[in-house]
Amino acid sequence: ILNVEQSPQSLHVQEGDSTNFTCSFPSSNFYALHWYRWETAKSPEALFVMTLNGDEKKKGRISATLNTKEGYSYLYIKGSQPEDSATYLCAFQNAGNMLTFGGGTRLMVKP
Amino acid sequence: DVKVTQSSRYLVKRTGEKVFLECVQDMDHENMFWYRQDPGLGLRLIYFSYDVKMKEKGDIPEGYSVSREKKERFSLILESASTNQTSMYLCASSLPRSVTFQETQYFGPGTRLLVL
């Protein structure tokens, strides 16, 4: 079983703060790295799919970077808002087609 | 928009009962998956299916079986529910990698199962 780790497990920030969290994954046999956002009582939704070393993706105030050589990805949220409160999941995709998920980072943004 | 639906949001069952969790997707996806999510452990793959009547074991298949009689429907079966199967169960679907190259999965809202 592949080891995909996310840190921190949970995070409390004030509205307006910028924040970031980490996903680490195996650096061998890499195919893609996925980020999902999972809001309470909703379905997890895909945020980004990243495939190339050095990739940066952005969607509004959320961005992500990828380093496949050292096996990590950062997710950044600029100016956090209460609606950003969710669990953020990363998933490592290897050449075998399966996704291996990390444990998630639970973000809570206080107004 | 892809829609993946699950038959129940919450279920309470007794130890030893047979439990069926149903998942339906409306986007003609070939791939379907069942995961369970437990605090701190992330999503763990139970079973997946690449086609009708086809199934493959994931990382934690013990105590579960699946059925895929139609392309849009993938059922997870707990033959004899036990308390350690209390969990959140998530279904997902995706296009085959031959089409998309990346395995973006589309999830249902989850079923929270409590086994007493």
* Closest-CA residue of chain B to A37: B107
Best residue of B90, B101, B103 to probe chain A, by most A CBs closer than 10 Å: B103
Q: Do B107 and A43 touch (CB under 8 A)?
A: yes
The pLDDT tens digits for B46-76 are 999 999 989 999 999 999 999 999 999 999 9
The pLDDT tens digits for A11-27 are 999 999 999 999 999 98
What pLDDT sits at residue B26?
93
Band (pLDDT 50/70/90 cuts) for residue B2 is: low
Mean pLDDT in residue range A66-90: 96
Residues in chain A: 111
Q: Do A98 and B108 touch (CB under 8 A)?
A: no
Which residues on chain A are in Cβ contact (under 8 Å) with B35? Answer: 101
- Calculate the CA dihedral of residues B36, B38, B43, B46 and round it to 10 degrees: -30
Q: Do B43 and A32 touch (CB under 8 A)?
A: no
CA distances in angstroms from A33 to A39, A93, B104, listed in the order given: 20, 6, 10
Chain A nearest CA to B92, separation (Å): 10
**Token couple for A31:** 């195919």
Q: Do B105 and A99 touch (CB under 8 A)?
A: yes
